[in-house]
Amino acid sequence: MKEDTSAKRILITGAAGFLGSHLCERFTGEGFEVIGMDNLITGSLKNIEHLFPLPNFEFYHHDVSKFVFVPGKLDYILHFASPASPIDYLKMPIQTLKVGSLGTHNLLGLAKAKKARMLIASTSEVYGDPVVHPQNEDYWGNVNPVGPRGVYDEAKRFQEAITMAYHNYHGLETRIIRIFNTYGPRMRLDDGRALPAFMGQALRGHDITVFGDGSQTRSFCYVDDLVEGIYRLLFSDYHLPVNIGNPDEISIKEFAEEIIKLTGSSQKIIYQELPVDDPKQRRPDIQRAREILDWEPKVSRKEGLKITYNYFKSLPEFQQ
Ligand code: UDP
């Protein structure tokens, strides 16, 4: 899918985070003028420092929950700012709610003023602890609004609702992606999610902590596949939500065993309490992405895990 990207200007929020940094890399590489924005509460400048010398990259240190000012023209906005791992949004519940609600409202206002197209990062969490399996986009979800994950899930559901309202009422061009579990280089080792937790434990010689009995399932997508899906969705003409994820489903216990095997560690699995409202099963139905975007994931878990493990191994902490 080749676009005329010369001199197109794009704002990427959450630029210093895991997904945001990969998006900044992709869009600068495609020749866009990229403005990365981040308040750095969970992101790190280390993720984007290699982009600073580029003539088509600039960085604004800003919290999008406050009024967002961008001088000049803007063609696209990708809203990826938010704490996104369960321990982060439990630690920062109010910021999580604000970036999904007030932040999204500010950016929609900016998109309207600039006549820009806006894509929002929604999530499989809008399906909550799903009673439909696999999850397709027509499923309305099973979310506990007052549970610990409610701050993230409901902020993202509100984000979808206000984005649709701007589309329907103001005629704004909008895109909604529902992202399922994604992994790859630049995840934070201490973000509490299963993959960095297991790899960090393997590297430090700690036992592997599986929550519950490990029978809950997830489906892990490699970051390059996700970025390709986002790219295609942005340039499609489809405004309803699209799931992007890898349908290769695995139980968390088997996932832990795969990581033990890959890392050659001799650690054992220890079982800890399952967090409240932890979804029991999750697998995307990606029929819509296949039909509309001609997209499907290409990187196998085996391949993706190897690349990710090599990244973690190369961190200064593990270089003696
Ligand atoms: N999990 C685990 N051990 C850990 C971290 C997470 O067993 O050290 C489990 C967690 O309870 C969930 C699954 O792994 O069932 C995926 O968790 P993650 O935080 O990666 O993402 P989620 O899909 O729950 O947002």
- How far is Cα 209 from Cα 201, in angstroms, rounded to an integer? 8
Q: What residue owns the CA closest to ligand 1's atom 13?
A: 194
One-letter identity of residue 52: F
pLDDT for the residue numbered 3: 54
H/E stretch holding 118 reads strand 117-123
- Residues 103-132: what's their mean pLDDT? 98
**Per-residue pLDDT tens digits for 164-187:** 999 999 999 999 999 999 999 999
DSSP conformational letter for 171:
-
- Residues 77-98: what's their mean pLDDT? 97
**Number of domain units in the chain:** 1
pLDDT for the residue numbered 6: 60
Is pLDDT of 50 > 60? yes
Is 205 within a domain? no
Is pLDDT of 281 > 70? yes
pLDDT for the residue numbered 319: 86
Query: Does the active-site annotation cover 152?
Result: yes
DSSP conformational letter for 241:
-
Q: Is 148 in the pocket of ligand 1 (CB under 6 A)?
A: no
pLDDT for the residue numbered 29: 98
Mutate to test the pocket of ligand 1, among 208, 209, 252, 258 (most ligand atoms within 8 A of CB): 252
Is 139 within a domain? yes
Q: Is 249 in the pocket of ligand 1 (CB under 6 A)?
A: no
Whether 265 and 202 have beta carbons less than 8 Å apart is answered as yes
Is 157 within a domain? yes
Mutate to test the pocket of ligand 1, among 182, 187, 199, 218 (most ligand atoms within 8 A of CB): 218
- Residues 186-193: what's their mean pLDDT? 95
pLDDT for the residue numbered 273: 97
Name the pairing type of β-strands 33-38 and 9-13: parallel
Q: What residue owns the CA closest to ligand 1's atom 19?
A: 193
Is pLDDT of 2 > 70? no
Q: What is the mean pLDDT of the chain?
A: 96
- Which runs of consecutive H residues, i.e. helices, occur in 235-300? 252-263, 287-293
Is pLDDT of 40 > 70? yes
> How much distance in Å is there from the Cα of 313 to the middle of ligand 1?
21
- How far is Cα 49 from Cα 311, in angstroms, rounded to an integer? 16
Q: What residue owns the CA closest to ligand 1's atom 24?
A: 278
DSSP conformational letter for 100:
I
Is 176 within a domain? yes
- How far is Cα 175 from Cα 159, in angstroms, rounded to an integer? 12
**Per-residue pLDDT tens digits for 141-163:** 999 999 999 999 999 999 999 99
CATH code (residue 35): 3.40.50.720
- How far is Cα 44 from Cα 191, in angstroms, rounded to an integer? 12
> How much distance in Å is there from the Cα of 87 to the middle of ligand 1?
10
> How much distance in Å is there from the Cα of 250 to the middle of ligand 1?
12
Is 194 within a domain? no
- How far is Cα 277 from Cα 196, in angstroms, rounded to an integer? 21
- Residues 110-121: what's their mean pLDDT? 98
Is 150 within a domain? yes
Range of the domain at 36: 9-186+221-247+284-298
pLDDT for the residue numbered 86: 92
pLDDT for the residue numbered 229: 98
- How far is Cα 55 from Cα 217, in angstroms, rounded to an integer? 43
Is pLDDT of 104 > 90? yes
Q: Is 216 in the pocket of ligand 1 (CB under 6 A)?
A: yes
Q: Is 252 in the pocket of ligand 1 (CB under 6 A)?
A: yes
- Residues 51-56: what's their mean pLDDT? 98
Whether 252 and 223 have beta carbons less than 8 Å apart is answered as no
The full length of the chain comes to: 320
Is 317 within a domain? no
Q: Who's near 169: CB < 8 A, 6+ residues apart?
A: none
Q: Which residue in 89, 127, 152, 231 is the catalytic one?
A: 152
3-class DSSP state of 62 = coil
Is 180 within a domain? yes
> How much distance in Å is there from the Cα of 103 to the middle of ligand 1?
27
pLDDT for the residue numbered 267: 87
Closest by CA position to 32, among listed 63, 81, 74: 74
